């Protein structure tokens, strides 16, 4: 069993409602959604934070962003709009130490975020 919960999701050891997966990226619904659509996208590779990304991760992260746009289409939020955000560190409220992006949509959102 993976020590990291998101590595466990990627490996199929932790149950999650996956909406997409390939060799590099996994996307699944947030267990505690903050919007009508709330999908998390992760690289399969365990990287604990944005601060630890290295050049070899560029392709996977770029791919992840494109996958997010495709999921936005599938979820019918591409036209109304959505937010793709990654929390890094304690001030941002990062609670899982595996790089992840939140795809949020289906309602209007305020700015700046709290």
The residues carrying an active-site annotation are 100
102: left (phi over 0), alpha (psi -120 to 50) or beta: beta
> Shortest Cβ distance from residue 35 to ligand AMP (Å)?
11
Which residues are at the interface with ligand AMP (CB under 6 A)? 5, 14, 16, 28, 30-32, 40, 87, 93-96
Shorter beta-carbon distance to ligand AMP: residue 94 or 109? 94
Residue 57 Cβ, how far from ligand AMP at the closest point, in Å? 18
Q: Which is nearer to ligand AMP, 17 or 55 (CB)?
A: 17
Looking only at the bridges linking them, the beta strands covering 101-105 and 25-29 are unpaired
> DSSP letters of 63-82?
HHHHHHHHHHHHTT-TTT-E
Q: How far is the CB of 97 from ligand AMP (least distance, A)?
A: 8
Considering the complex, state which of residue 84 and residue 94 has its C-beta at the smaller distance from ligand AMP.
Answer: 94
C-beta atoms surrounding 58 within 10 Å: 10
SS3 content of the chain, % helix, strand, coil (to 5): 25, 20, 50
């Amino acid at each position: 069993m993976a020590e990291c919960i998101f590595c466990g999701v990627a490996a199929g050891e932790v149950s999650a409602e996956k909406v997409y997966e390939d060799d590099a990226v996994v996307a699944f619904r947030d267990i505690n959604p903050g919007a009508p659509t709330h999908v998390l996208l992760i690289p399969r590779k365990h990287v604990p934070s944005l601060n630890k990304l290295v050049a070899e991760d560029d392709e996977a992260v770029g791919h992840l962003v494109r996958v997010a746009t495709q999921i936005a289409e599938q979820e019918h939020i591409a036209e109304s709009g959505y937010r793709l955000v990654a929390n890094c560190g304690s001030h941002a409220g990062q609670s899982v130490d595996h790089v992840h992006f939140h795809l949020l949509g289906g309602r209007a959102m305020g700015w700046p975020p709290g």
